[in-house]
Chains A and B, each alone.
Chain A
Amino acid sequence: MHEMAIAENLIKIIREEMKINGADRLRSVLLHVGALTAVVPEALSFSFGLIISGTELDGADLIIESIPLRGICADCGREFEIREFEFVCPGCEGTDISELSGQELSIIEMEVG
């Protein structure tokens, strides 16, 4: 259940950004969570809700957008969605695959005011 630690880090960043932007009320936060992370969105939402309850952030929505795992084959250049975590090119069966997306664990946008 490392989602609690992730939520704590997230809230630190939110507070920093609110201070920088002179905002005092948080309405919502948008996250990108890649398919290759080991984060369970429900556990992250639960942890987030638990930490902000009774604080100045209480009531804010956490919006989690899942980002699919995509890769590019070094041999043939094909870009494809990696399904079932099989890092094999569907075109040439090459296995030298770099991730294009799917590793994100990022805060993208906040709605305040």
Chain B
Amino acid sequence: MREKQTVMKIEVVRNILEANDRIALENRAIFDSNALLAVNLMSSPGAGKTSLLERTIDNLKSELNLGVIEGDIQSSHDAERVAKKGIQVVQINTGGACHLDGNMVRNAFEKLDLSLINLLIIENVGNLVCPAEFKVGEHFKAMILSVTEGDDKPSKYPLMFRESEALLINKIDLLPYVDTSLDRIREESLKVNPGLVIFEISCKTGQGIMEWCRWLREKI
């Protein structure tokens, strides 16, 4: 006799990333209880995240206690660069994953003394797509776009531009050598996210870094 099979529909309605969202919320609560501001810093590879960190640390370390979580697929080069500045830093190697998630950040900050930090910058893996999808417990996201990447990125990678509170346009010292239009970057970014705060900077020359640091200082 053939076994009777009943097909049943189960209504689920659950957010696929709910487990990560839950951990991110817990991380955020831990940051709040330590009265620290956490920033999730994102960009494509080579846009200048670590250089921005170095500049930011130089500018703010006399008045703030900074901490850094460095996310990379492999290597500890970035953490070594930042550690030279004499601040607390921990390296995450995602071992292939293209983004950080709540759990990786949790495991990393457990190695830091959060009670001694007012500003924690979490440098995400270089990637314009995936990091925007995963909350890690940050208070806000900031992103860098360098002028060598072109001015069409906001409409190609809208999620990151939409999710970020600040956009740093880096390498403006190279503008004479590229066809990128700053006006177009501004215009395209503001279409995706009208509230975006935009800084034009050069980590090479230091231009615009003061404005960024002042803004960051006011957020704390």
Contact = CB atoms under 8 A, between A and B. Distances in A.
Interface residues of B, number: 37
Contacts of A66: none
Interface of A: 1-2, 5-6, 9-10, 12-13, 17, 21, 23, 27, 31, 36-39, 84-88, 95-97, 105-113
Contact of B8 (A23, A36, A97): A23
18 contacts: A1-B98, A2-B97, A6-B133, A9-B20, A12-B19, A13-B14, A21-B10, A37-B159, A38-B133, A38-B157, A38-B159, A86-B191, A87-B191, A88-B191, A95-B194, A109-B12, A109-B13, A110-B12
A106 B130 contact: no
Contacts of B155: 84-85
Contacts, number: 103
Interface of B: 5-20, 97-99, 101, 129-130, 132-134, 154-155, 157-160, 162, 190-194
Nearest to B97: A5
Given A5-B97, A108-B13, 11 more contacts: A1-B98, A2-B133, A9-B19, A17-B12, A27-B7, A36-B162, A106-B13, A110-B9, A111-B8, A111-B10, A112-B7
